[in-house]
Structure 1
Amino acid sequence: MNKQIEIWYLYHSGFAVKIGQKLLIFDYYSNKAANSLPCLYNGVFNPEDFRDLDIFIFVSHIHHDHFNPIIFTWMEQNPNIHIIISSDVEGYRANANLTIAETEMSYVIDDIIIETLTSTDEGIAFLVKTEGVSLFHAGDLHWWHWDGEKETINKQMEYQFKTQIQKLENQHIDIAFLVADPRQEDFALLGLEWFLKKISCSHVFPMHFSDNYSIMERIDKISSSNQRSFIMHLISRRGQHFLF
C-alpha cells in the first residue's frame, strides 16, 4: 500500500475513507453532527463538499444503525455518487448509480472491485479493492456469542463466523473495520481477536460500540499482546481523523 489514506470515524460502524480521488463511505447512520458544523470532522457527510471526488457509499444491511435513507437524496445533489446496498435494503428507486449487492458475489464499478461475504446477522460484509488498497468492512459479520443464549446457537454462530473469515486467509487486508460490541460483555472481542490471529492486515479500526468508548482499553490490551504486525487505531470521538 503506497497511497496516502485519510479516514474519518463517523459513528457506530460508519467510516469515510479517502483514497486518491475517491471517497468511500461505509454504513452511514447518524446524520446529526457532533456540533453545529456538518462535516466529516464532526461525523457527518455533506454531499456538496465533495463534488471533485468520486464517491462510493456502501450499506451492509437494513438495520437502522447501519443505514440512513438520506443517502438516496445525495445522488440527486451530487452526480458523482454511486451507492452499493445489500439486497435486504428497501425504500430506493432504480438509478444507474445504484448497485444492489447479493451475498457471495463480486462486482466491478469503475476500477473498484467489490466482493461480498455473508453476515452472521443481516446482509453482507464488503471486501473492497481499489488504487492498490484492500479494505474489509464487516458490517454485522461477527462472532455473536451471548451469555444466556443456547449453546447450540452460540456454537453455530462461531462456525458461521469462522467459515466466512477463513475466506480472507490467503490475502492481505490493508484496512479492516471490525465489530467490537460492548453489549456482549466478556465475549465482545471474540470475533476481533480471532480475525487478528488468522488474517494478515495492516490497519485495524474497531466499530459497533456506539458511544461506549471504554471498550478501547480492552482492545488496546488484546492488540498489544497479538504477535502479528498491525496498527490498531483506537477511537475516542465522532469525526476523529486518521492519516497514514
Structure 2
Amino acid sequence: MTSVKPFNTTADVDPESFAGQLRLSTGADWDASVHHRFVEELFAGTVSDEVLARYLVQDYQFFDAFVAMLGACVATTDSKPARLRFAAQLGMLAADEDGYFQQTFAELEVPDSEVTSPQLTTPTQEFVAQMWEVARSRDYADLLVVLVIAEWLYLDWGERDKPLPEAQKHREWVELHRGDEFRAWTQFLIDELNRVAPPLDSDDGAQLSERWNRVVGIERAFFDAAYSDAPFRD
C-alpha cells in the first residue's frame, strides 16, 4: 500500500495504519498544540523570556525519563537495526539537546535550583508519570506510543512553513525539531509502531489507543501551562 499524507503533517503515514488512525482520532488536540500560541510566538521571536524559561524548565524534567524510555527500547525491541538506532539516538540526545538546555538556562539566568527541583505543573507531572510507566513496563509497543507522540507532534510544529526566528534561544529549539535527521528519526518511530502494534480493535490495541489519547491531551495542556502565572517553586 502506498503511503499518503492524510493530514497536515511532514511524516509519511498511511491513514489506515495504526499510527495514522490514532493521529486522526486526536486531531483537535494535536492541531491545537501544533498551532499553539507558544509555537506562534516562538517562530515570531516574541515569546517572553519568562514564558520560555518556564516552558524549558518544565520540558527539561522529561529528560531523564526520556533517556530511560530509549534505554528500555534498546532492551526490548526484537530488531537489531532498531536497537542500534535507539542507541545512536541516546548519544545525540545527550550531546545536542542537553547542550541547548544548559546554554539557554544560562542565557535566561535560570537558577540551578529551579532547573533541578522546580515546582512541576500538573501536565509535567502527568507526562513524567506516563513516561516512567511505559519505561518500567518494558512493553515495546507501549513505549513507542509515547515516543511517537513526543517526537511526531514536535516535528509537525517544528517544520511549519514559517521563517526561523533570529535569536538563538528561539531558533535552536525550532531547529532541534525539524530537518532531515529529526524527520527520519520520527519516521523510524512511526514505522516501528506500525510494525509491532496489535490490531486497533483488539484489547491490546484499545489499551494503546487509550494511552495515545491521554498523552496527546497532556501535550496540549503542557503548552497551555507555559502561560501560567504560577512560580517555578513554592
Q: What TM-score results when the alignment is normalised by the length of structure 2?
A: 0.29
Greater share of residues in strand: 1
Q: What TM-score results when the alignment is normalised by the length of structure 1?
A: 0.28
